[in-house]
Amino acid sequence: MKQNEKDRERQELLSAFAAGWKAGHIGVPYLLIKHYHQLKLTEVDVMLMIHVLAFMEKERKEFPTLEELQGRMSVTPEKVIASLQKLLKAGHLTIDEAVDPISGIQGEKYNLDPLLERLAGFWYEEELQRKKALEPAEPETRKDIFSIFEKEFARPLTPMELESITGWLDKDKYMEPLILAGLKEAVFAGKVHFRYIDRILLEWSRNRITTVEQAKEHSQKFRSR
């Protein structure tokens, strides 16, 4: 007998759940849930807008009364009014004039477009950041190597000179410390120009020199000869 009662209760719960599910859903913007704190909205403000959406979507009421909204919320009527006033003052929600297409009667309706536009702004910024993250960023060290060369040359680099450094890094695959070692070698020799540095790097490449230490040893041997 007890088992039968449990089965019946379980069936009633499942039926109730199914009825609730069939009653439908409303579309709550994910961006609202994600960013409402950035708009300085409280949970009461968000819940109030969800109820406005529910009336509009499920019950075809574009301008539910205050009493209808208050009747579905657990906070006091005063808090519902204060929240509504806050949303209207902040411009997240507006009240527009509307004309019933069937009866022609003029009335009012809530408009959530201003809120959606602001939420779209958050989405746009997130998309920009996402795309920026996917772009091949110029390494900070690459900016440093350009500034080091400019400091040694005591002037801004020309576009051709910038292209030379980029070619050493990307095309020739010279390591940045090795390029800077070549610059140092050119400064030491008193021949601070790109052709000389290029010849140094080419010489090191032919001798399979890949580290600064190897470059120092090679230069010392060359000078001693």
Q: Is the pLDDT of residue 11 over 80?
A: no
Q: Is pLDDT larger for residue 33 or for residue 137?
A: 33
Question: How do residues 172-185 score in pLDDT, each as one tens digit?
Answer: 888 899 999 999 98
Buried b or exposed e, range 31-55, using 16+ CB within 10 angstroms: bbeebbeebebeebbbbbbbbbbbb
Which fold does the domain 140-219 belong to in CATH? Arc Repressor Mutant, subunit A (1.10.10)
pLDDT, residue 224, reads 64
Same fold, 26-133 and 140-219: yes
- C-alpha 173 chain-centroid distance: 33
Taking residues 108-130, what's their average pLDDT? 87
Min mean pLDDT across 105-119, 173-187, 191-205, 206-220 is at 206-220
Question: How do residues 44-94 score in pLDDT, each as one tens digit?
Answer: 999 999 999 999 988 889 999 999 999 999 999 999 999 999 999 999 999
- Single out the residue of 113, 33, 44 nearest to residue 83, CA to CA: 44
Min mean pLDDT across 107-121, 161-175, 211-225 is at 211-225
Which residue in this structure is represented by tokens 């020799």? 189
pLDDT, residue 7, reads 72
Which fold does the domain 26-133 belong to in CATH? Arc Repressor Mutant, subunit A (1.10.10)
Question: How much is the mean pLDDT over the chain?
Answer: 85
Question: How do residues 136-149 score in pLDDT, each as one tens digit?
Answer: 545 555 668 888 99
- Domain locations in the chain? 26-133, 140-219
